[in-house]
């Protein structure tokens, strides 16, 4: 059980780190203006071309928000991995919060599985402890 939790946790952390770096690259490209110079919107059949500054602002803010959410998700995953030995319930909660905030499906599934396994492991341990006290 511990190996499965460790492996799925590491898979999630590696993928979330990679996606955070990818969002950082997109953020840098959007701030420097290396992406498309302008963008068009179509509302009720009317096409409007927006300026390069407006496009740069929209993409910069969008990628900044996505990057911050990805970093928070990565931090929750790392905290969950570090608290795994000391407090399994808190670790499971951190994994589940990180899974909800993560922006890729594989990280979401792996951290959700880790969180559920850690919470379930703690519940099974408390049931086993209660049986031990009753038998004594």
Confidence of residue 17 (pLDDT cuts 50, 70, 90): very high
How many domains does the chain contain in total? 1
pLDDT, tens digit, for every residue of 64-83? 999 999 999 999 999 999 98
Phi/psi-derived region of residue 31, left when phi > 0, alpha when psi is between -120 and 50, beta in every other case? alpha
- What local confidence, expressed as pLDDT, does residue 92 receive? 92
Which pLDDT score, from 0 to 100, does residue 43 have?
A: 75
Q: Which domain range does residue 100 map to?
A: 2-135
Output the pTM of the full model.
0.76
């Amino acid at each position: 059980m511990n190996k499965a939790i460790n492996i799925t946790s590491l898979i999630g952390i590696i993928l979330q780190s990679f996606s955070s770096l990818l969002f950082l690259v997109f953020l840098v490209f959007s701030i420097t203006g290396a992406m498309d110079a302008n963008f068009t919107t179509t509302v009720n059949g009317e096409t409007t071309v927006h300026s390069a500054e407006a496009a740069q602002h929209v993409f910069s803010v969008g990628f900044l928000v996505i990057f911050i959410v990805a970093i928070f998700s990565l931090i929750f995953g790392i905290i969950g991995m570090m608290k795994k030995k000391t407090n399994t319930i808190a670790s499971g909660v951190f994994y589940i919060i990180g899974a909800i905030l993560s922006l890729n499906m594989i990280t979401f599934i792996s951290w959700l599985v880790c969180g559920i396994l850690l919470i379930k492991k703690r519940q099974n341990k408390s049931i086993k402890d209660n049986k031990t006290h009753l038998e004594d």
